[in-house]
């Protein structure tokens, strides 16, 4: 009994600490204490921000190269937004019919024009060779005169700024990856004595003649650059040249006020749900319901603490998953209480009915929770970002609910010292 009470006190104190950790950022500075100020990570729909959708042009790629190119595009854009200090961005590839798309969500960003410039200014660098199939005349356009090669910015390793020692004009030196260096060597070898055009975002910026094969994986970009323009270009190239072109097709701004309204409504709905559940437990299970409410409070505090520590990005769907997991936790307690009642009505004392009730309820609780966890895993694996948020919060909540039901609730019941033998105790327990 002493060990059980000690465990119950420890669980209660730990739950209090978890609750304090969860709500500390909302308390006055003087009450925040020594705990680090770790805010909840809020999604775009709660925090406000910008959502951009781009269409990727993969027409120049073989079918087997599309997935790798899209993954490379996602990595480049992630580096880009991280370089500019955007916190908690969400960059993901999507398939819409025959189109390959890239979705970029930027929580907390309010200037949509700045965001579009931030994403779109990453240059698409490519090398083009002379088109041998047409006769170049004065009327031939630059686009017609050159055809794309496989060498693009996806093979770029590093760019840096130099100044010509004779003219003192800025030049940009670029270094390719091993594969890119081999491609560049082959292209220059096949085009000795011919022009090799360097395009940036579809515009030719330099058309030098190839004098000899260039090995070593290095090249120079020259043009009418000012030093500031050259610095900007180097920075843009180093932050990641796009492996394939992209086109903005959708933009949406979620205002901070709207996000706060959604957050308030979500929290309000959660509180109303908790109060309704607490009232139901007290009416239906009396003293047992009181212990369930205490266990539910500990459960809620631990889950919220984990959401901060992991951290979990909370969206409206994620909060819905968390609220649903509270229902799962309550369901486990109800199954346990009904088993305890059955044992007590069969003549057992309360201290002996409790462990038997938990043991008999375990199979049903285990099976229902495992099926929910499997569903959550499937939703997380195959779902979109919104569905993943719902699945993650639901899965975490279900796992903690198992701990809450079979450790927290049991410790509180066993430490209560209720005998269940007198008429008053039976009324209190709802037996």
- Contact present, 41 and 66 (Cβ < 8 Å): no
- Contact present, 390 and 248 (Cβ < 8 Å): no
Instruction: Report strand pairing: 246-254 vs 99-107.
Output: unpaired
Which phi and psi (to 5°) does residue 140 adopt? Answer: -75, 130
The pLDDT value given to residue 313: 80
Superfamily of domain 2-43+255-429: Multidrug efflux transporter AcrB transmembrane domain (1.20.1640.10)
Buried/exposed code over 343-367 (b: 16+ C-beta within 10 A; e: otherwise): bbeeebebbebbebbbebbbeebee
Confidence band for 123, pLDDT divided at 50, 70 and 90 = low
User: Residues with Cβ < 8 Å from 17, sequence gap 6 or more?
Assistant: none
The pLDDT value given to residue 289: 85
Of 76, 132, 134, whose CA–CA distance to 102 is shortest? Answer: 76
The pLDDT value given to residue 13: 92
Of 112, 74, 75, whose CA–CA distance to 94 is shortest? Answer: 74
Nearest-angstrom CA–CA distance, 82 and 25: 25
CATH 1.20.1640.10: which residues of the chain? 2-43+255-429
For residue 87, pLDDT over 90 is answered with no
Domain covering 44-252 in this structure, CATH number:
3.30.1360.200
User: What percentage of the chain reaches a pLDDT higher than 70?
Assistant: 88
Instruction: Report strand pairing: 246-254 vs 49-56.
Output: antiparallel
The pLDDT value given to residue 397: 92
The pLDDT value given to residue 101: 92
Buried/exposed code over 236-253 (b: 16+ C-beta within 10 A; e: otherwise): bbbbbbbbbbbeeeeeeb
Confidence band for 378, pLDDT divided at 50, 70 and 90 = very high
Report the run of H or E that residue 160 belongs to, with start and end: strand 156-163
- Contact present, 152 and 125 (Cβ < 8 Å): yes
What confidence tens digit (pLDDT) does each residue in 295-305 have? Answer: 999 999 999 99
The pLDDT value given to residue 424: 45
Mean pLDDT of 102-127: 78
What confidence tens digit (pLDDT) does each residue in 321-368 have? Answer: 998 898 888 989 889 988 888 888 887 877 788 888 899 999 999 998
Instruction: Report strand pairing: 41-42 vs 313-314.
Output: parallel
The pLDDT value given to residue 261: 78
At residue 266, the 3 state secondary structure works out as helix
Of 330, 361, 344, 358, whose CA–CA distance to 425 is shortest? Answer: 344
The tokens describing 87, both together, are: 């916190």
The pLDDT value given to residue 206: 77
The pLDDT value given to residue 259: 67
Instruction: Write the DSSP assignment of 305-330 as a string of letters.
Output: HHHHHTT-EE-HHHHHHHHHHHHHHH
User: What percentage of the chain reaches a pLDDT higher than 90?
Assistant: 13
The pLDDT value given to residue 421: 52
Most confidently predicted of 86-100, 189-203, 251-265:
189-203
For residue 95, pLDDT over 90 is answered with no
CB neighbours (10 Å) of residue 316? 18
CATH 3.30.1360.200: which residues of the chain? 44-252
What confidence tens digit (pLDDT) does each residue in 10-61 have? Answer: 998 999 999 888 888 777 777 766 677 778 888 777 777 888 899 998 887 8
- Contact present, 239 and 232 (Cβ < 8 Å): no
Mean pLDDT of 165-172: 84
- Contact present, 106 and 227 (Cβ < 8 Å): no
For residue 395, pLDDT over 90 is answered with yes
């Amino acid at each position: 009994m002493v060990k059980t009470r000690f465990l119950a006190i420890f669980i209660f104190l730990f739950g209090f600490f978890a609750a304090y950790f969860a709500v500390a950022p909302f308390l006055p500075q003087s009450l925040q204490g020594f705990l680090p100020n770790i805010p909840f990570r809020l999604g775009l729909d709660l925090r406000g921000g910008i959502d951009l959708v781009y269409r990727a042009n993969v027409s120049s790629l073989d079918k087997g190269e599309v997935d790798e190119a899209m993954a490379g595009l996602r990595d480049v854009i992630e580096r880009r937004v991280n370089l500019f200090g955007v916190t908690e961005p969400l960059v993901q590839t999507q398939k819409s019919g025959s189109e390959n798309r890239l979705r970029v969500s930027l929580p907390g960003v309010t200037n949509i024009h700045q965001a579009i410039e931030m994403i779109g200014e990453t240059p698409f660098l490519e090398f083009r060779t002379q088109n041998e199939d047409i006769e170049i005349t004065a009327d031939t356009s630059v686009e017609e005169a050159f055809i794309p090669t496989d060498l693009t910015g996806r093979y770029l390793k590093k760019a840096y700024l130099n100044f010509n020692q004779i003219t003192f004009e800025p030049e940009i030196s670029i270094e390719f990856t091993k594969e890119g260096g081999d491609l560049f060597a082959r292209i220059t070898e096949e085009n000795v004595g011919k022009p090799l055009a360097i395009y940036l975002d579809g515009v030719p910026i330099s058309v030098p003649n190839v004098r000899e094969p260039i090995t070593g994986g290095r090249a120079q970009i020259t043009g009418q650059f000012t030093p500031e323009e050259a610095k900007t270009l180097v920075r843009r190239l180093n932050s990641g040249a796009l492996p394939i072109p992209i086109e903005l097709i959708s933009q949406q701004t979620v205002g901070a006020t709207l996000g706060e309204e959604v957050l308030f409504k979500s929290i309000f709905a959660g509180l109303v749900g908790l109060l309704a559940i607490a009232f139901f437990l007290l009416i239906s299970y009396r003293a047992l319901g009181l212990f369930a409410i205490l266990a539910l409070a500990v459960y809620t505090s631990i889950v919220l603490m984990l959401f901060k520590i992991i951290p979990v990005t909370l969206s409206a769907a994620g909060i819905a998953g968390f609220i649903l997991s509270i229902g799962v936790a309550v369901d486990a307690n109800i199954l346990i209480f009904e088993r305890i009642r059955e044992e007590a009505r069969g003549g057992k004392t309360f201290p002996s009915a409790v462990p038997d009730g938990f043991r008999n309820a375990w199979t049903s609780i285990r099976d229902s929770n495992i099926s929910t966890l499997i569903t959550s895993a499937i939703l997380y694996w195959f779902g979109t970002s919104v569905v993943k948020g719902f699945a993650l919060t639901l899965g975490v909540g279900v796992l903690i609910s198992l701990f809450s039901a079979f450790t927290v609730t049991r410790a509180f019941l066993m430490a209560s010292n209720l005998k269940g033998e007198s008429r008053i105790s039976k009324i209190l327990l709802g037996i």
